[in-house]
């Protein structure tokens, strides 16, 4: 399966103010950037004898990680349980039900107003009762962010003299992995995190979130302020505007992609002297197919 992951296309968007490139991760095996993390985490688990034919893999996921893990586990011939919540879109939910050993939906919100903490509680409860369960733990497993070294190298090799990289955050595995490699190569490359209003990663403001795949109901276990150069928080309306703008250019992409695009536009409005004619890359984690019921309705 590894041969079907990575080396995704990077395309220059026509934008007068600056040189803007988009890294299209929808061309991975399951259609998202999460294939990189899932493949790496499972490989390490197998090599370290933590995963065998009797193992049941479990994860809390808003969609993409779970879908990728379900496909990987089907290929490996092992069981996978996805712990999702009421925000999951119906298309992804049906896909998971067709692939997973079980799909557990959390319907009660936690103290932050989201579902993440209760999803994690469910996972912890199940693994405490079942010795053969393996939690991939995309929120704290270092193999999550270590998986993104190849992604980073692909960007650096494709776009010479990169100045800025915009990355949407959720588990923060992608941005941590990208930043770790980028800063080792060139500390002058700026890493900008893109988050959604109501997320607890950079703010304590409680606000309802309805777009899956971006934001989190807890602080990151990975990210440190030194890993990034700046962050920008968008509301859902702005994210949808970003998706619609990309669609007008012929790119049918997910919420995090629209968020990153809109963040570049907004960042340029706030700090035009910073971007100017710089070379900017933003990572598009997935396509728009599963978002037709919320973003594109």
Q: What is the CATH number of the domain that holds 79?
A: 3.40.50.1100
195-201-207 Cα angle (round to 5): 70
Number of structural domains (the chain) is: 2
pLDDT confidence tier of residue 294, bands split at 50, 70 and 90: confident
Note the pLDDT tens digit of each residue in 111-148: 888 899 999 999 999 999 999 999 999 999 999 999 99
On whether residue 55 sits in a domain, the answer given is: yes
Residue 147 φ/ψ, nearest 5 degrees = -70, -15
Confidence of residue 210 (pLDDT cuts 50, 70, 90): confident
Residues 152, 251: one domain?
Answer: yes
Domain end marker among 76, 108, 138? 138
On whether residue 195 sits in a domain, the answer given is yes
- pTM here? 0.94
Residue 97 belongs to what H/E stretch? helix 90-99
The answer to whether 279 touches 159, Cβ cutoff 8 Å, is yes
* Domain end marker among 108, 138, 168: 138
Give the domain-ending residue among 78, 106, 138: 138
Statement to judge: residues 168 and 21 lie in one domain? yes
Q: CA neighbours within 13 Å on the CB side: how many for 153? A: 7
Tokens (6 digits) for 47: 């090599």
Residue 222 inside a domain? The answer is yes
Find out whether 246 and 222 touch, Cβ atoms under 8 Å. no
Same-domain check for residues 171 and 62: no
Q: Which DSSP string do the residues of 148-209 spell out, in sequence order? A: THHHHHHHHHHSTT--EEEEE-SS-HHHHHHHHHHHHH-TTSEEEEEEETT-SSS-------
Residue 23 shares a structural domain with residue 79: no
For residue range 43-90, what is the model confidence (pLDDT) as tens digits?
999 999 999 999 999 999 979 999 999 999 999 999 999 999 998 989
Taking the C-alpha atoms of residue 12 and residue 236, their distance in angstroms, rounded to an integer, is 25
End-to-end CA distance of the chain: 34
Instruction: Kindly state whether residues 195 and 102 are assigned to the same domain.
Output: no
Domain that holds residue 243: 2-27+146-291
């Amino acid at each position: 399966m590894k041969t079907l992951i990575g080396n995704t296309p990077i395309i220059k968007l026509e934008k007068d103010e600056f040189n803007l490139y988009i890294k299209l991760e929808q061309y991975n095996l399951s259609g998202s950037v999460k294939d990189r993390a899932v493949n790496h985490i499972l490989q390490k688990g197998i090599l370290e004898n933590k995963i065998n034919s009797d193992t049941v893999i479990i994860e809390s996921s808003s969609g993409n990680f779970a879908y990728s893990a379900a496909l990987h586990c089907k290929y490996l011939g092992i069981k996978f349980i996805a712990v999702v919540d009421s925000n999951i879109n119906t298309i992804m939910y049906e896909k998971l039900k067709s692939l997973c050993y079980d799909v557990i939906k959390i319907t009660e919100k936690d103290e932050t107003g989201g579902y993440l903490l209760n999803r994690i509680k469910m996972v912890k409860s199940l693994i405490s009762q079942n010795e053969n369960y393996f939690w991939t733990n995309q929120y704290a497993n270092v193999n999550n962010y270590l998986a993104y070294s190849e992604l980073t190298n692909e960007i650096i090799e494709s776009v010479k003299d990169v100045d800025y990289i915009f990355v949407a955050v959720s588990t923060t595995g992608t941005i941590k992995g990208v930043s770790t490699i980028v800063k080792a190569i060139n500390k002058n490359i700026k890493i900008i995190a893109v988050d959604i209003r109501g997320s607890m990663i950079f703010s304590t403001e409680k606000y309802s979130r309805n777009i899956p795949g971006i934001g989190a109901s807890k602080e990151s276990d990975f990210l440190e302020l030194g890993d990034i150069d700046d962050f920008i928080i968008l509301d859902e309306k702005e994210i949808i505007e970003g998706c619609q703008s990309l669609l007008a250019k012929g790119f049918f992409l997910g919420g995090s992609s629209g968020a990153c695009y809109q963040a570049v536009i907004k960042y340029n409005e706030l700090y035009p002297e910073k971007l100017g004619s710089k070379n900017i890359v933003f990572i598009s984690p997935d396509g728009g197919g599963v978002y037709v019921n919320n973003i594109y309705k």
